[in-house]
Amino acid sequence: MRENKNNKNQNYNYDNNGLLGGLLLATGVLIGSAATLLIKENRPKKAGLVLETAKNRLGQNGNVVGSWIDYDSIEYDLFEDKPLVYIGGVTVENAEGRLQYQFASDIYTGELIDYYLINQNN
């Protein structure tokens, strides 16, 4: 009879160990996933991808015929928190002629945070 009781206790310990191991594994996966997302979110976007976003946004009313971007980021002094931005330009041709825009895009999100028309050729 004692033998059966010991076997029952051993099975109980194996079940607890399996549950504990699974819980630790799941916790590790969650922490690893969160860390990966945090690292990716805080990594600057590639300037070429940011330029494509700006071209799509500014070229909605015409054809983009030229563009450029400075691959070095700078602090943008027009805002109080001075975000890091890429500076670039896009030339759009439409019925009004050629419009040249200069823009500033956040390096982490790629969001166009400021743009203005610098030249219009009819």
pLDDT at 115 over 90: yes
- Global pTM reads 0.66
Taking the C-alpha atoms of residue 70 and residue 47, their distance in angstroms, rounded to an integer, is 8
- Write out pLDDT tens, residues 30-57: 777 776 766 656 789 999 999 999 999 9
SS (H, E, C) the chain: CHHHHHHHHHHHHHHHHHHHHHHHHHHHHHHHHHHHHHHHHCCCCCHHHHHHHHHHHHCCCCEEEEEEECCCCEECCCCCCCCEEEEEEEEEEECCEEEEEEEEEECCCCCEEEEEEEEEEC
